Amino acid sequence: MKKIIAVTNQKGGVGKTTTAINLAASLVATKRKVLLVDLDPQGNATMGSGIDKNDIEHHLYHVLIEEMPVARVLKQAPEGLYDVLPSNSDVTAAEVELLSMPQRERRLTNALTPIQDQYDVIILDCPPSLNMLTVNALTAADGVLIPVQCEYFALEGIAALLETIEQIKAEINPRLTVEGVLRTMYDARTSLTNDVSNELKNHFGATLYRTVIPRNIRVAEAPSYGLPVMHYDQSSRGALSYLALAGEMIRRQEDAPEPQA
Ligand code: ADP
Ligand code: MG
């Protein structure tokens, strides 16, 4: 399976963080060892993993700017489910400081190199913009998972994201590919959802995951308990659909031809 997956869409509120947390938990359920990296100064992936973002001494800023080893910064999600490289609002400064640093696109890649053999999968939860933190994520990643909410203007902005991905692939990270596009907060009862969904099918073909994540209240409630939805309500539609997503990702990668050495 691809090791480092960036969950990216520069639009806010499309389900990036929800997907990063629940995909992490679902991959753990398949016996994989997972690291979740919170690249958003909002710290939602940190809080949603049961870690108080205001009660951490060290976080992503120290890793990216001060080159503190990742191992010193790591926290654990409840019951040791998965490891978390946390963030909080102090990481905002890193966005600006990175601009004038040497190897500014590769700081995250360099930080992850010494520890990546300890994990089967590393999930990067990106901020809602194409800033230097997102560029660091796309430079470190092998694959990009793009969550899309099926509403008007869903495709707007994806063009800019795909352009950025192509640019980073050409200039810095030739391994990078779009792993898949995921429909989130899906409501099959509305014709708008169906229209946008068809548009996504035409546009992305096999890159679009067959699994869709339904709009489900349990998914929205779980972060306030600091839990992935499968540990909050394991029989909810949200929990089952994120498990299905992990299964589809694993199957896709098993079916994909091995890259030539
Ligand atoms: P992003 O990280 O892209 O900004 P989030 O994952 O934080 O988006 O999701 C935005 C909001 O939508 C959050 O309040 C989240 O709880 C809610 N949400 C996400 N996915 C679902 C879903 N499948 N069903 C219901 N609410 C959802
Ligand atoms: Mg988010």
Residue to mutate (ligand 1; options 18, 146, 149, 185; most atoms within 8 A of CB): 18
Nearest ligand 1 atom to alpha carbon 223: 16
Query: Could you tell me the pTM of the whole model?
Result: 0.96
Instruction: Write the ipTM.
Output: 0.99
Nearest ligand 1 atom to alpha carbon 21: 6
Q: How far is the CA of 107 from the centre of ligand 1 (A)?
A: 28
Q: How far is the CA of 1 from the centre of ligand 2 (A)?
A: 24
What kind and span of H or E run contains 208?
Answer: strand 208-214
Residue 261 has pLDDT above 50, yes or no: no
> Domains plus CATH for the chain?
4-253 (3.40.50.300)
What kind and span of H or E run contains 253?
Answer: helix 237-255
Note the pLDDT of residue 260: 54
- Any bridge partners for residue 35, and if so which? 83, 122
Nearest ligand 1 atom to alpha carbon 216: 24
Note the pLDDT of residue 151: 85
pLDDT tens digits, residue range 18-76?
A: 999 999 999 999 999 999 999 999 999 999 999 999 999 999 999 999 999 999 999 99
- Which residue from 148, 210, 207, 149 is spatially nearest to 179, judged by alpha carbons? 207
> How many CB atoms within 10 Å of residue 74?
15
Asked whether the CA dihedral 109, 15, 161, 257 is positive or negative, the reply is positive
pLDDT tens digits, residue range 69-103?
A: 999 999 999 988 999 999 999 999 999 999 999 99
Residue having the nearest C-alpha atom to atom 15 of ligand 1:
220
- β-pair type (83-85, 34-38): parallel
- Which residue from 111, 117, 116, 77 is spatially nearest to 94, judged by alpha carbons? 111
**Mean pLDDT across the stretch 187-209?**
92
Closest ligand, as measured to the CA of 16: 1
Unique residue bearing structure tokens 């839990």: 227
Note the pLDDT of residue 29: 97
Note the pLDDT of residue 205: 94
Closest ligand, as measured to the CA of 223: 1
The answer for residues whose C-beta is within 8 angstroms of residue 260's C-beta and 6 or more apart is none
Cα first-last separation, the chain: 16
